[in-house]
Amino acid sequence: MPMPQAGDKAPGFSLPDQSGATVSLSQFKGRHVVLYFYPKDATPGCTTEACDFRDEHSALVKAGAVVLGVSPDSVASHQKFATKQGLPFSLLADPDHALADAYGVWGEKSLYGRKFMGLIRATFLIGPDSKVVRVWPKVKVAGHVAEVLATLQGGSSSDAAPPPKKALAKAPAAKKASAAEAKPATVKKPAAKKAPAAKGAVRKGARA
């Protein structure tokens, strides 16, 4: 089936979690649900993703969301994985990948040139009205949980301000003001000329 998009009605479900309790989408009506699909318990990427959701769980809950993980693993596998990693949220067992099919995340994958059917890592943010708010297809684990949290808090990591660019080169220093601009020029008065000696004047020391 095609992957639901923003504005679509989210496919409902009722699946057992790691404790064996049945979890249904309908029980979270009025709240946001972060429904994330991951390929397999205890693998490196899936462990990192689960631990990122664990570390931000209180912030996600504060933002009004319920976190639910889904994979084709069994209830027993989920229980072991959740216990080992101290996961505070439900992991739903979808061994026949019926829910993965409903959300369009079960499909052909490729690894080392080998093609096979499997679960595609993806996350769906479902709104209080049970409609899809946002989809993250083909999730890259690094930074994903932070982006989900930012979306719940009213923004997204893509809306965040870009990292600061390198400081611009300093503008060339302003040229020193010319002497005329720095202070008014002082006009020098011409030196007074000595009055010429009177004709016929007796030189000092000259005889009468």
Please list the active-site residues: 46
Q: Which residue from 67, 75, 58 is spatially nearest to 20, judged by alpha carbons?
A: 75
Q: Which helix or strand (DSSP H or E) is residue 63 part of? A: none
SS3 124: strand
CA distances from 191 to 18, 158, 188, 194 (A): 107, 77, 9, 9
Q: Look up residue 26 and give its two tokens.
A: 């309908």
Cα 12 from Cα 64, distance rounded (Å):
20
- Cα torsion 40, 83, 45, 125: sign: positive
Cα 152 from Cα 60, distance rounded (Å):
8
Cα 28 from Cα 89, distance rounded (Å):
14
